[in-house]
Homo-oligomer: A and B are copies of this chain.
Amino acid sequence: MLGGAAVHFSLAASFFTEVRPVGPVGDDFGAAEFEVLERRGVLTDDIERVAGGAKSFFWRGRYEFDLNVAHTEDTQLGVFGEFEPKLSEASRQAETLFLANIQPDLQRQVRAQCTAGRFSALDSMNLWIDTAKDSLLAAIAEVDCLIVNDAEIRQLTGEPNLARAARAVMELGPRAVVAKQGEYGAALFTEDGFFALPGFPLEEVRDPTGAGDSFAGGFVGYLDSQEGEIDEACLRRAMGYGTVLASFNVEQFGTERVAALTREEIDERFAALHAMTRFEPLPIS
């Protein structure tokens, strides 16, 4: 079914700002798929339709008992195998850039074409740490924020302690590191300190696929909507919106839930998340 990092990210970010996904699709990505994006106001001009029968990127996997561990069963690069990004002028001028998980050389090509950047973030995965580490380190050095799973921060830096691993990433260039932790939530490391939110508790979780990209969409989309400095308070609110968008995404399969979401539902859950994480530090008697 319809999925993929760019799709999940775009739908989540569309509640906050104008989104222009960049990437190739095959003949199997047709009018119905475009409509899911366009109904949410996503601008699809930079989606490159590759003719000639090649297929869109494809992933299939399964999850363990508690849904915290995913096992990949099949990955087909399809049209991504030959992709050379050429951004439209509108995309080149974007103030905010999210480089979704793909070969880091491709991420760098996109990054190099975006010159007006105010905030940029990057996702990656263990595959690229294993097979393209130098290129990945160069890509990370060129962004403001790394958003990856906590185990990948450890693997990337060879440092088992997450706080030290995050500091090592910041020494490469980024001023913020977001460690995604599945159902446990996400943690934010910056020069100014540490912040963490739990995953929003849900009694119905159908499909964790795309949760990380939905998180990034809520996080980066919210930041793009904010004028003025992206400071610690702003990043913390963005963590909240990321958490909320990820939580909606997992309630149904594929894009079903987020495609049908409303802004009111987002604001309601954001307020609930705030209430669930507050405590009053009264002195003990």
Contacts and interface: CB of A to CB of B under 8 A. Distances in A.
A67 interface: yes
Interface stretch (A91-99, A131-139, A219-227): A219-227
Interface stretch (A20-28, A108-116, A179-187): A179-187
B66 A227 contact: no
Interface in A227-282: 227, 233, 236-237, 239-240, 270-271, 274-282
A163 interface: yes
A118 interface: no
B284 A163 contact: no
Contacts of A275: 193
| Integer count of this chain's copies in the complex | 2
A163 B202 contact: yes
A196 interface: yes
A7 B175 CA distance: 42
A198 interface: yes
Contacts of A189: 201
A279 B278 CA distance: 9
A203 B151 contact: no
B222 A163 contact: no
A16 B279 CA distance: 19
Interface of A: 16, 65-67, 151, 154, 160-164, 167, 181, 183-185, 187, 189, 193-198, 201-205, 222, 225-227, 233, 236-237, 239-240, 270-271, 274-282, 284-285
11 contacts: A66-B154, A66-B162, A162-B183, A162-B201, A184-B184, A185-B198, A195-B277, A195-B279, A225-B285, A233-B282, A240-B281
The 7 closest A-B pairs by CB, nearest first: A196-B198, A236-B279, A184-B184, A163-B201, A274-B281, A194-B201, A163-B203
Given A196-B277, A274-B279, 17 more contacts: A161-B202, A162-B183, A164-B203, A194-B201, A195-B279, A196-B276, A197-B279, A225-B284, A225-B285, A233-B279, A236-B278, A236-B280, A237-B282, A237-B284, A271-B281, A274-B281, A278-B278
